[in-house]
Structure 1
Amino acid sequence: MAKLTVNGEEVTLDVPEDTPLLWALRDEMRLTGTKFGCGIAHCGACTVMVDGMPRRSCVTPVGSIDGGFVETIEAMEGPEAEAVQNAWTNIDVPQCGWCQSGQVMSATALLRMNRAPTDEDIDNAMAGNICRCATYVRIRRAIHDAAETLEG
């Protein structure tokens, strides 16, 4: 059993401590915005924020974050999240959309830490997120546009 705060709500998950956070979110809490991609933390589709940092939920045991704060794509808030979501829409970043929740989570985390990222900063922050549709150029452009929006 683990006690967490998920999207601002305190929850107690009655699951084994080694249950991946991804399955607790999707199966127990019905928060299906976080996607299963590879199951080995290589694709980034399952990215959520744990205590403010991006984390691959497919390999994060619920027991390892007991008492932690989890933010999923369903509750992304704040100026960075809004700027990223608007840029994603304006540039038509998604194609199939499967990886997009993880992409948005990682981009938002980057902009929360660095509001003026270089191409290298973006590439480093997004390196663990795979897009099968290869929208990487649009993703980078959207992050730059979101950063410009935040700069005013």
Structure 2
Amino acid sequence: MDLDGYARLTARIEKAWEEFDDPATPHRDFHLDEISDVLEAGPLTQEDAERAVGRMVGVALSGDEDRAVLESALHAICTAGTRYALPLPLVRPLADAADRFDPPLLAYVLSALGSTYDKAATPFAERFLDHPHPGIRREAEDALTEIRWRYRHEPIRGALPDALG
């Protein structure tokens, strides 16, 4: 993508944030969806994507009472996780606050954890394997599958070589 095209994308994100930040703006969630659309297309640098995700994490944890805003922020984080590597420290605040989210929103948190592909996220996802909501148990299993997927070719310590197995 040429520099002018990239500048237009980042300007689109900045405009969406400006409109979102204005409390008089109706349907503030639509502006988060606009940012999510840019993240989904995938042409941002890792740094710009992480900056957007970091702000989305802040929105998700802000206590905003508009459910559509919370859901749009969490959805955008998950969307970014399909295109960019999300470092665990970036999304860990969501895991630390997971108990404040109801099942539909918690599903997004677990998806974000899975998209880190970081072994250190395993305990955060494992704690939901016995959740009373079956959809959350499934999301926790999916997150663990994603985390383990990255390491599927790592040798297991103490395993016998294939010729001996």
Which has the bigger relative contact order, CA under 8 A and spacing at least 6? 1
TM-score computed with the length of structure 1 as normaliser: 0.38
Q: Determine which structure has the larger helix proportion and give its number.
A: 2
Larger-gyration structure (1/2): 2
